[in-house]
Amino acid sequence: MQIIRGLSIFGLSISFNLTHSYSMQLYNTLSAKEREALIEQAGKERLTISFYKYAHIGNPRILRNHLFIHWNELDVLGRIYVAHEGVNAQLSVPADNFKAFKDHLDSISFLEGVRLNIAIEQDNKSFLKLKVKVRRKIVADGLDDNTFDVTDKGIHVDAEQFNQLVEDPDAIVVDMRNHYESEIGHFKNAVTPDVDTFRDSLDLIEEQLRDHKEDKKLVMYCTGGIRCEKASAYYRHKGFKQVYQLEGGIIEYTRQVRDRELDNKFLGKNFVFDQRRAERISDEVISNCHQCGKPCDTHTNCANEGCHLLFIQCEECAEEMNQCCSEACMEIVALPYEEQKKLRKGKTKSNLIFKKGRSEVLKFKKPATSSLVLEERK
């Protein structure tokens, strides 16, 4: 039974008490622009943080409301998912309120002492709203958790151990992120599946590495560790004998590399799901502008709100194309805003928003492939 400040999240008492609390604010009342202005006016340093924790939560809705009420008081902003299987959070908090935020986390029994990944590069405007949502799962993995033991996970390794595995000829290092994430940054010798979703990568990796279940070490990494947490148990269930995962993901790896003065095996940028879009881990630029082909690793969203395609665009192309992905979108952006709204009315956003960097209008997009390419050790 999980305890939140002395109240059971499964008991009738908290249901009654939180019912009385529902008169309090449970959702955002400010727009992103209004929040941005308040952040600038406050002039206070904010910390961008992420964490996750798998746990059995009986009533995610009650926990969701509890988190929103208390974190809103602390001026926390971010995107938090709550499900029966746990909590997944990416957020920012004023540095002055960090201790109070940490104390509140520690008052929730299953979150006490949870590892917090502090962003490598800080930005006070990384998040502009507090969104706490109840989801079926904290990561959309498409798996039936009842078919395997999700607690039978792989071996967690730190940065020093991971560096050794990166150079190990008997290890296959696999990037568990999506194609647009690994395109701008990945580890040396890593296999980078060309997939749009985490679920797609699970099947692709299992199918194409099936001949190496016994003889190779399967070494996985992702942004903060959450995707590997479930994937490692899944692959052990599928018969892989030597399964490893990078503890804390790329974010924690980078912190350890800097603190311990280790060799950095990561090339390029780490993609992040907030206003920053990425944080630089090394000086290498390993990707190209999708419009002109010159070296570039800066993601942007098409300025046409009816498109909003995520793609890589250099400064020169951004100026020439008015931050749009195509001439068609440029024509729409040039229209009065009210006319743009009329064009969008009744239309759902294009599937291109979910096919990041895949649009045919992008002349220099990364070619798609359906197979894994195993790097030769140098």
pLDDT value, residue 358: 78
Residues with pLDDT less than 50, the chain: 1-23, 351, 354, 376-378
pLDDT value, residue 12: 28
pLDDT value, residue 6: 39
- Residue among 194, 257, 259, 185 nearest 223 (CA): 185
pLDDT value, residue 147: 85
With a CB cutoff of 8 Å and minimum separation 6, the contacts of 75 are: 93, 94, 97
User: How many domains in the chain?
Assistant: 2
Residue 222 a catalytic site member? yes
Which one from 222, 289, 314, 317 is the annotated catalytic residue?
222
Residue with tokens 């969203």: 301
Is the same domain home to 55 and 152? no
pLDDT value, residue 18: 41
Is the same domain home to 87 and 112? yes
pTM for this entry: 0.82
CATH number at residue 235: 3.40.250.10
pLDDT value, residue 146: 82
pLDDT value, residue 275: 85
Tell whether 277 is covered by a domain.
no
Is the same domain home to 175 and 195? yes
Tell whether 190 is covered by a domain.
yes
Is the same domain home to 153 and 113? no
Sheet strands (E) in 42-85: 46-54, 77-83
CA 232-237-241 angle, 5° bins: 75
Is the same domain home to 100 and 193? no
Half-sphere exposure of 276 (CA within 13 A, CB side): 24
State which residues form the domain around 99. 3-134
Dihedral of alpha carbons 329, 331, 332, 334, sign = positive
pLDDT value, residue 106: 97
Is the same domain home to 7 and 129? yes
Q: Which of 266, 296, 313 is where one domain is finished? A: 266
Is the same domain home to 127 and 182? no
Is the same domain home to 160 and 242? yes
